[in-house]
Amino acid sequence: MKLYYSKQSRSTRPRWVLEELGLDYEIVPMDLRAGDQRQPEFRKLNPLTQIPVLEDGDRVVCESGAICLYLADRYCPGQLAPALDQRGDYYRFSFFIYNTLEHQLVEIFLHTRFLPEEQRKPERVAKAKELLKERLQIVADHLAERQFITADKFTAADVLVGSALDWADMQGLLTEFAGLRDYLERLKARPAYQRAHEVEVAKS
Amino acid sequence: MKLFFCPQTRAVSSRWAMEEVAAPHELIRLKFPEELVHPDLRAANPLGQVPTLVDGDQVVTESSAIALYLADRFPASSLAPAQDLRHEYYQWAFFVGAALEPHLLEFFLHTVRLPEGERSAERAAKAKEGFDRVLGIVNDHLATREYLLGEKFSMVDVILGSILGWAQMMNLLAGFDHVRAYFKRVRSRPAFERAVQD
């Protein structure tokens, strides 16, 4: 199994799942600044030219959320995914993070760090922060009475939620959410989280 | 099972998914936005969002999540692949919300939704460009396939078919022939027709 990977990116999510499941995998480091993602060979794997991409035999999976859920269903069923008739919270929060909450994180990141200074728009940051707060509150309320997204058991949905919160925390956006910071600390104490984050890959 | 629903919103996607799995359910029809204060809805989902699905003690929001949930909850409908074969299924489910929808939303905001003085032609043009690029990928994929997963209709076609309805309303499908043929195919399903009935 190969994971096309760049450090400090969404690639760490599937890597975290791979570590949780104890699977063997090879990391293919991608240098995004050098444009590895736009090479014709990679474009065949993902025409969107985004990492991560997982190659599992002849199967190719793009989108970090999809890779995480795929791995959880494909390997060691039952370990990281709930039973098929109990997936309400599992799907709900997986998509909520991916389709809704993360857009604000991207917007804040772009307009505070990534874009050249003259293109940054403070009003877009302010708007995104306001929306982000409402959305973090939804996650905080859900976790107020639960250890994990699906109540008492860690699943791939926690990898997705935890990774987004991790990014929010790095940008200093969790200060008002003590419960979310506790949850994040719980996740970061997991050996698989640490293995997925500790080894920096040479080229990427 | 209860589905809180408003016509002509994202909730149509969930009603369509519900019709596809043919599950007995109660459809609670609310007027958008004034009836979102409905006490049963607020009890299940304090934010009062539609769609919201209540199935025993499970509450599901997010239209893509509701679609996948229903496919798994009613396996006899055979709308989700076997559990070890879900690579493309999940990929498309996430792709629609992550890659396609943000451009569509941005375009909608800056051409329709925002007051005229707040619209930016530059942002609309950039959104259109991004949308075309991503829809081009879908168009290429559908050139040789009836449905996203090949020959067989699945729940991810409900997710994509719903978003394409929105794009179609803004005339954004022109020039994407395979997408248009696909759109026609999925929208002619009896379950979709039932989902838009009164």
- B59 to A88: CB separation less than 8 angstroms, yes or no: yes
Residue A203 predicted with pLDDT over 60: no
Residues 6+ away with beta carbon under 8 Å from B51: B3, B4, B5, B9, B10, B11, B13, B14, B15, B61, B63, B66
pLDDT digits (tens, 9 = 90+) for A117-129: 999 999 999 999 9
Q: Contact A144/A180 with Cβ under 8 angstroms?
A: no
pLDDT digits (tens, 9 = 90+) for A5-22: 998 789 999 999 999 999
Clarify whether residues A17 and A65 are in a common domain: yes
Q: Please tell me the distance from the alpha carbon of residue B187 to that of residue B158, in angstroms, as a whole number.
A: 9
- Total tally of structural domains belonging to chain A: 2
Cβ count within 10 A of residue B193: 12
The distance between the two most distant Cα atoms of chain B, rounded to a whole number of Å, is: 51
Among A66, A86, A92, the residue with its CB nearest the CB of B62 is A92
Q: Please tell me the distance from the alpha carbon of residue B48 to that of residue B40, in angstroms, as a whole number.
A: 9
- A66 to B58: CB separation less than 8 angstroms, yes or no: no
Structure tokens at A102: 């993360």
A59-62 and B2-5 strand pairing: unpaired
Cβ count within 10 A of residue A37: 19
Residues 6+ away with beta carbon under 8 Å from B59: A88, A92, B44, B45, B52, B53
**Chain B residue with minimum CA distance to A50:** B99
Clarify whether residues A55 and A132 are in a common domain: no
For residue A136, what is the domain's CATH number? 1.20.1050.10
Residue A202 predicted with pLDDT over 60: no
Q: How far is A73 from chain B (nearest CA, A)?
A: 6
In chain A, what percentage of residues exceed pLDDT 90?
89
Clarify whether residues A20 and A112 are in a common domain: no
Q: Does residue A8 fall inside a structural domain?
A: yes
Q: Does residue A129 fall inside a structural domain?
A: yes
Q: What is the pLDDT along chain B (198 residues), one digit of tens a residue?
A: 999 999 988 899 999 999 999 999 999 999 998 999 999 999 998 888 999 999 999 999 999 999 999 999 999 999 999 999 999 999 999 999 999 999 999 999 999 999 999 999 999 999 999 999 999 999 999 999 999 999 999 999 999 999 999 999 999 999 999 999 999 999 999 999 999 998
Structure tokens at B80: 């989700």
Chain B contact for A149, CB < 8 A? no
What pLDDT shows up at residue A92? Answer: 97
B58-61 and A2-5 strand pairing: unpaired
List C-alpha distances in Å: B79 to A106, B18, B33, B157, B161: 33, 11, 32, 10, 14
**Chain A residue with minimum CA distance to B130:** A48
Which amino acid is it at B54? V
Backbone angles phi, psi at B50, to 5 degrees: -120, 145
Among B62, B87, B91, the residue with its CB nearest the CB of A95 is B62
Structure tokens at A93: 């929060």
Candidates B149, B109, B150, B158; CA nearest to B131 is B109
Q: How far is B91 from chain A (nearest CA, A)?
A: 5
Residues 6+ away with beta carbon under 8 Å from B56: B1
Clarify whether residues A183 and A113 are in a common domain: yes
Residue of B13, B61, B96, B109 to mutate when probing chain A, most A C-beta within 10 A? B61
For residue A32, what is the domain's CATH number? 3.40.30.10
Residue A199 predicted with pLDDT over 70: no
Q: How far is B186 from chain A (nearest CA, A)?
A: 23
Clarify whether residues A58 and A99 are in a common domain: no
Report the sign of the C-alpha dihedral through residues B23, B28, B32, B37, in that order: negative
What pLDDT shows up at residue B84? Answer: 95
Mean pLDDT of chain A: 93
Residue of B49, B54, B90 to mutate when probing chain A, most A C-beta within 10 A? B90
- B68 to A91: CB separation less than 8 angstroms, yes or no: yes
- A56 to B62: CB separation less than 8 angstroms, yes or no: no
Domain that holds residue A114: 84-190
Q: Does residue A50 fall inside a structural domain?
A: yes
pTM: 0.95
Report the sign of the C-alpha dihedral through residues A52, A56, A62, A65, in that order: negative
Structure tokens at A76: 């060691």
Q: Does residue A203 fall inside a structural domain?
A: no
Residues in chain A: 204
Clarify whether residues A107 and A172 are in a common domain: yes
Backbone angles phi, psi at B28, to 5 degrees: -100, 105
Q: Please tell me the distance from the alpha carbon of residue B50 to that of residue B79, in angstroms, as a whole number.
A: 23
Residues 6+ away with beta carbon under 8 Å from B76: none
Q: Please tell me the distance from the alpha carbon of residue A150 to that of residue B161, in angstroms, as a whole number.
A: 29
Q: Does residue A165 fall inside a structural domain?
A: yes
Q: Please tell me the distance from the alpha carbon of residue B112 to that of residue B186, in angstroms, as a whole number.
A: 26
The distance between the two most distant Cα atoms of chain A, rounded to a whole number of Å, is: 51
Chain A contact for B83, CB < 8 A? yes
Structure tokens at A122: 């403070």
- B58 to A61: CB separation less than 8 angstroms, yes or no: no
Half-sphere exposure of B15 (CA within 13 A, CB side): 22
Candidates B17, B3, B91, B87; CA nearest to B49 is B3
Clarify whether residues A68 and A103 are in a common domain: no
Residue A200 predicted with pLDDT over 90: no
List C-alpha distances in Å: A139 to A180, B10, B39: 8, 21, 22
Q: Does residue A174 fall inside a structural domain?
A: yes
Clarify whether residues A96 and A60 are in a common domain: no
Clarify whether residues A67 and A97 are in a common domain: no
Chain A contact for B163, CB < 8 A? no
Clarify whether residues A95 and A166 are in a common domain: yes
Clarify whether residues A34 and A108 are in a common domain: no
Domains of chain B, start order: 2-79 (3.40.30.10), 83-189 (1.20.1050.10)
Clarify whether residues A63 and A123 are in a common domain: no
Mean pLDDT of A45-65: 96
Residues 6+ away with beta carbon under 8 Å from B103: B127, B128, B130, B131, B134
